Amino acid sequence: MKTRMKRYIGDRKFYAMLLGIAIPIMVQNGITNFVAMIDNIMIGRVGTEQMSGVAVANQLMFVFNVSMFGMLSGAGIFGGESRGHGAPAAASFGSYNDYKPEILCERI
């Protein structure tokens, strides 16, 4: 059993924490995609022009979500690297309060 576990990074506590972070993100993305699909289904009964408008709006929301995810992930990676090299907290990208506008935009 120990040789099998050597393939993995960390222990059970690490994976429990990882799932605690990953599952809410997966649920949020699933709900967002489900709502977009329901919008398309409901508007599909009205007409093709309205359906096209909703589809374009959903595509724009998808591009916005992916862009925000990319920017915030990049900032998190660079901040983590900075902290990993021994830089103090003030020398990294800032505190949680500095990211509140970005977090607010991502939630919209």
Residue-wise pLDDT tens digits, 4-49: 656 777 788 888 998 998 999 899 989 988 998 898 888 888 888 8
More confident residue, 31 or 104: 31
Cα 84 to Cα 11, 74, 76, distances in angstroms: 20, 15, 12
Q: pLDDT for 65-90, tens place per residue?
A: 889 989 988 888 888 887 777 666 55
Q: Which two tokens stand for residue 74?
A: 């990049």
Angstrom distance (rounded) from CA 94 to CA 75: 10
Q: Which of 33, 89, 41 is nearest to 58 (CA)?
A: 33
The predicted pLDDT at position 71 comes to 92
| pTM reported for the whole predicted model | 0.56
